[in-house]
Amino acid sequence: MPNCPVVIGNAPCGPGQPLLFVLGPCVIESRELLIEVGDHLAAVRERIGMPIVFKASFDKANRTSGDSFRGPGLERGLEMLAEIKTRTGLPLTTDVHEPSQARPVAEVCDILQIPAFLARQTNLVEACATAAAEFGRTVNVKKPQFVAPEDMMHVVRKCEATGCPNVLLTERGTTFGYGRLINDMQAIPTMRSFGVPVVIDATHSVQMPGGKTTGGRREMVPTIARAAVAAGADAVFLETHPKPDKALSDGPNQVPLDRIERLCADLGRLRSLVLEFGV
């Protein structure tokens, strides 16, 4: 059976536990950006008293256009993430796109994240699970936009069979037509029934796919996040940037950094009410 709750850093995530936040910019744009965001989030963690995991991607490999900014790559990206971990004490997560990246990422990051488009790639899932088991890490698998929540049980079983009991599943919307995602909040209790904590990715859920660059409605992020926490989500994934409109990736759905503390504090209070009513 998978572990539930799962301990990230020293914070338990799962039913009956405080809300966990996964926060940070979409992609590593520069060392300066990581320091600015990391220092801010470390201060937020102290003020609101809730656990925060720092996230940023070293490579955005699933861009629509070949001209899109992708990031600094594996080696330099992990160096910068390791610096943030030492500087702030925040646990880390980043995307893994290829099996060969799993072990280097597990040496640095607390959570190995498998992007939604890659969640059915067995070799990748098994490589991440193996590396996570070796280093005592966690695997977070994002539910693909084209997969029913019931079918994510098979991903959990793949991780278990490879020796990794620490698994998170993330809801991030389902494709509806060509240019919109919808969130079925039934996915949260469904995936929780597999014995794993469930995360809501509230920022990617408001994306509007299509065209050279993806659009989004960041004003809807709080709505998605609140609904998911009310439905029992154990963690909230939010991308944030000091100047989202100038971000090099996914700017339209990122939350301005100066608004992240209020949103997280509100969601934390909602989580307390949910736990009080036994959801």
Q: For 180-239, what is each residue's pLDDT tens digit?
A: 899 999 999 999 999 999 999 999 999 887 555 567 788 999 999 999 999 999 999 999
Residue 278's pLDDT band (boundaries 50, 70, 90)? confident
How far is the C-alpha of 272 from the C-alpha of 247, rounded, in Å?
33
pLDDT digits (tens, 9 = 90+) for 153-176: 999 999 999 999 999 999 999 998
Q: Which two tokens stand for residue 88?
A: 């702030």
How far is the C-alpha of 69 from the C-alpha of 23, rounded, in Å?
20
How far is the C-alpha of 43 from the C-alpha of 41, rounded, in Å?
5
Residue 69's pLDDT band (boundaries 50, 70, 90)? confident
Q: What pLDDT is recorded for position 72?
A: 87
pLDDT digits (tens, 9 = 90+) for 87-142: 999 999 999 999 999 999 999 999 999 999 999 999 999 999 999 999 999 999 99
Report the amino acid identity of residue 206.
V
Q: What pLDDT is recorded for position 66?
A: 61
Q: What pLDDT is recorded for position 209?
A: 72
For residues 103 and 131, the answer to whether their CB atoms sit within 8 Å is yes
Q: Which two tokens stand for residue 141?
A: 């698998």
What's the fold here for domain 14-274?
Answer: TIM Barrel (3.20.20)
pTM, entire model: 0.95
Whole-number Cα distances in Å, 86 to 35, 45, 109: 11, 16, 12
Beta bridge partners of 208: 215
Phi (first) and psi of residue 59, to 5 degrees? -155, 125
Beta-strand pair 198-201/181-182:
unpaired
Phi (first) and psi of residue 242, to 5 degrees? -60, -35
**Is 52 a residue whose pLDDT tops 60?**
yes
How far is the C-alpha of 212 from the C-alpha of 230, rounded, in Å?
35
- Nearest 5°: CA angle at 167, between 208 and 252? 20
